């Protein structure tokens, strides 16, 4: 895939190490320079909404407002039909909101416990990405990626993060945590959403239609 034009410099509205690695690999290959928001002194935004897209948009606008840069944000999580599509937008803090420990291990343990009484083990990772050219951008780029699988009763694999050790992909015969970083980016919800977003950015007419993404690769004249 060719790099978008003009070259982009964006702030990523996340400090999650796993997400940073995944974003960095794909965006870097596309010629987009990424700055994690913490590197620029941006505190995390509130995520009060009940949908992925609303939370992603809030985070992107917050990061852009604080830095003056175009901003990319994602909101992602695991949806399990047997649990009414929980944990959903609360995936990262699912244990904590129930009074437990705020950690991946605690979230995974709660998921296993909640599914013990269910035969339906289907699950879907969801990622919604929002890129704003500036904080008040009225037409942000939005892309969604889905990754279908099922939940195991025991974790497998030491890679990845979050629910990856429990997320089994029958078509691949392994969990997300057993995939190499490159293979995970090839198949994952976040990788799919990023590729769709990059495809949108290839359309120069969208970039130049009076809503210019500033090119920070050059010094201003």
Decide if 213 is inside a domain: no
**What are the tens digits of pLDDT across the range 71-91?**
999 999 999 999 999 999 999
Nearby residues of 144 by Cβ (< 8 Å), 6 or more positions away = 52, 53, 126, 127, 128, 129, 193, 196
Decide if 218 is inside a domain: no
What pLDDT band is residue 214 in, cutting at 50, 70 and 90?
very low
Decide if 165 is inside a domain: yes
75 is catalytic: yes
Catalytic residue among 75, 104, 137, 164: 75
The CATH number for 169's domain is 3.90.950.10
Domain range for residue 61? 9-208
User: What is the average pLDDT score of the chain?
Assistant: 88
Please give the tally of structural domains in the chain. Answer: 1
**What are the tens digits of pLDDT across the range 146-170?**
999 999 999 999 998 999 999 999 9
Decide if 82 is inside a domain: yes
**What are the tens digits of pLDDT across the range 171-180?**
999 999 999 9
Decide if 178 is inside a domain: yes
Higher-confidence residue of 7 and 148: namely 148
Q: What are phi and psi of 12, to 5 degrees?
A: -95, 120
Burial code (b: 16+ CB inside 10 Å, e: under 16) for 8-29 equals bbbbbbbebebbbebbeebbee
Decide if 46 is inside a domain: yes
Decide if 66 is inside a domain: yes
- How far is Cα 125 from Cα 79, in angstroms, rounded to an integer? 6
Decide if 3 is inside a domain: no
* pLDDT exceeds cutoff 60 at 6: no
pTM: 0.85
Find residue 35's DSSP bridge partners: 11
In the predicted model, what is the mean pLDDT of residues 180-191? 93
């Amino acid at each position: 895939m060719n790099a978008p034009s003009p070259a982009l410099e964006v702030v990523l509205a996340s400090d999650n190490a796993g997400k940073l690695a995944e974003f960095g690999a794909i965006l870097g290959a596309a010629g987009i320079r990424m700055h994690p928001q913490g590197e620029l002194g941006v505190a995390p935004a509130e995520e009060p909404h009940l949908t992925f897209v609303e939370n992603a948009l809030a985070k992107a606008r917050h990061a852009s407002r604080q830095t003056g840069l175009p901003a990319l944000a994602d909101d992602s999580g695991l949806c399990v039909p047997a649990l009414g599509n929980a944990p959903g937008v609360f995936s990262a803090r699912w244990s904590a909101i129930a009074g437990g420990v705020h950690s991946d291990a605690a979230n995974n343990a709660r998921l296993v416990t909640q599914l013990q009484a269910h035969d339906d083990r289907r699950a879907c990772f969801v990622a919604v990405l929002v890129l704003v050219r500036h904080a008040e951008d009225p037409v942000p780029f939005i892309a969604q990626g889905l990754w279908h699988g099922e939940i195991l009763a025991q974790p497998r694999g030491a890679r990845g993060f979050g629910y990856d050790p429990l997320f089994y992909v029958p078509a691949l015969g392994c969990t997300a945590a057993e995939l190499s970083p490159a293979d995970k980016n090839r198949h994952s919800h976040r990788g799919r959403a990023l590729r769709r977003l990059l495809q949108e950015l290839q359309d120069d007419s969208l970039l130049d239609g009076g809503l210019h993404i500033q090119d920070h690769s050059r010094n201003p004249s």
